Amino acid sequence: MIVYKKTQHLRLTRAHVPEPPYWAATTIAPYSPRRAAPIAIDYIDLRASCADRFEVAVCENVRDDLERTTARHPLHAPVMIDATEFAEVIFRRGQEALQFCAEQQVAALHLVSARGELPAEVQDDAVIAIAPWPLEFSRIETLFVEAKERGLRWGVVIPIIYPVTTDLTALAELAELAKKYAALFFAGAPVELDATARNALARSLTGDDQNDTYEMLFHADLGPIRLATERHIAALAGEINAEDFVIPPRWDRRTNWNGAVLLTLLANRILAMNRDEDLAWRLTRSAKTIAQLEKPIERVAQAASLAIIDSLDEISIDLLTEWLETGRSSFAGHIEKQWRLRRDSGM
């Protein structure tokens, strides 16, 4: 059971550096975190829980709240709008936030789920991220078809939840649908399960492997399988010619924020693969420096060299210089190849 309750304020948070999986400088959530039953995903904190009854807070007037907030502190791009679940179908508060961003000429990433709905109006540089949860393929394909037919810039971000979205057959089917309808990206976002969500998933289990799956849910560390699945999803993305991370809006521009996204993405993957921890932390420090730099790095590189920026290590300088010149980075490509690893590669 879901009860909707009107409130005066929306959730708005700001970040000084980009963070996965959405890379947003500003996050707008017009609804409270848990808004589905029985299993609800908080798509911002990436946690899942379960209850028979949820009370969902709905921002009463998104535009008024945003106008009051931005009068003091303007929105920083890119913006991520959490418009997931059925609440968006009823109230359309996420769409209101997207329209406000369009009027302010602020690039936005709009997140919807399989229970939700695509926004009616989408500005040219907005990106739509579709989370295929719950895993109802008919509904998911309907959203994919609409996104393609409307010519939207869109992709897939899969909430990685054992054992549902870690199933290799289900992931292969999702990848085929993403390829068929020309998704720009196909990425995974690991989700933590609290005790209530684990219990709900355990009660839904059937089949010969029920006991093994139950044992995994309650007595195993699910971190390794979430990581392996995230890398498997990245490998599938490569096979369907899609990016393996959520593309921020205006990703083609050589902005400071996009440069920081690139460095942070590499650092996170190096740490996750247990490669060079020292290098990963140097890239992270460089990303923070670039994100908070007042001058555009493109202008700095044209006037002199990125080497004049304090706190940048040599690898970051070379990586960003190549990225500014070509839009790509050979070092990033090297890490990407290592990161993409199918879970069934040894079978």
pLDDT of residue 347: 41
**If you search the block for the tokens 């996104």, which residue do you land on?**
147
* CA 49 vs CA 41, 43, 344: distances in Å: 7, 12, 29
* CA 291 vs CA 20, 128, 312: distances in Å: 14, 24, 12
DSSP state of 185: B
> Which residue intervals of the chain bear CATH 3.20.20?
2-239
Token pair recorded at residue 20: 């996965």
How far apart are alpha carbons 159 and 193 in whole angstroms? 11
pLDDT of residue 346: 53
Angle at 322 between CA 319 and CA 326, to 5 degrees: 140
pLDDT of residue 1: 67
Peptide bond into 132 cis (omega under 30): no
pLDDT of residue 54: 82
**Cβ-contact 200, 39 below 8 angstroms:** yes
> Which residue intervals of the chain bear CATH 1.10.150.110?
256-339
Token pair recorded at residue 6: 């009107």
pLDDT of residue 38: 86
Q: Residue 198 half-sphere exposure, CB side, CA atoms within 13 Å?
A: 14
**If you search the block for the tokens 């991220």, which residue do you land on?**
129
How far apart are alpha carbons 132 and 135 in whole angstroms? 6
Angle at 147 between CA 144 and CA 148, to 5 degrees: 90
pLDDT of residue 8: 73
Q: Does domain 256-339 have CATH number 1.10.150.110?
A: yes
Token pair recorded at residue 322: 């190549």
pLDDT of residue 208: 66
Give the tens place of pLDDT for each residue, 232-255: 999 999 999 999 999 999 999 999
91 by DSSP, 3-state: which? Answer: helix
Beta strand 2-7 with 11-14: parallel, antiparallel or unpaired?
unpaired
Token pair recorded at residue 316: 């970051």
Look at domain 2-239 and name its CATH class.
alpha beta
**If you search the block for the tokens 């309750």, which residue do you land on?**
5
Beta strand 11-14 with 26-29: parallel, antiparallel or unpaired?
antiparallel
Q: What's the average pLDDT block by block, 10 residues per block, for the chain (347 residues)?
A: 81 95 97 88 95 88 93 93 95 97 96 96 95 96 98 98 95 98 98 93 77 84 96 98 97 97 98 96 96 94 91 94 95 97 77
Closest among 135, 139, 109, 25 to 73, alpha carbons compared: 25
How far apart are alpha carbons 283 and 262 in whole angstroms? 9
pLDDT of residue 130: 98
281 by DSSP, 3-state: which? Answer: helix
Token pair recorded at residue 216: 């995994």
235: phi then psi, degrees, rounded to nearest 5: -65, -40
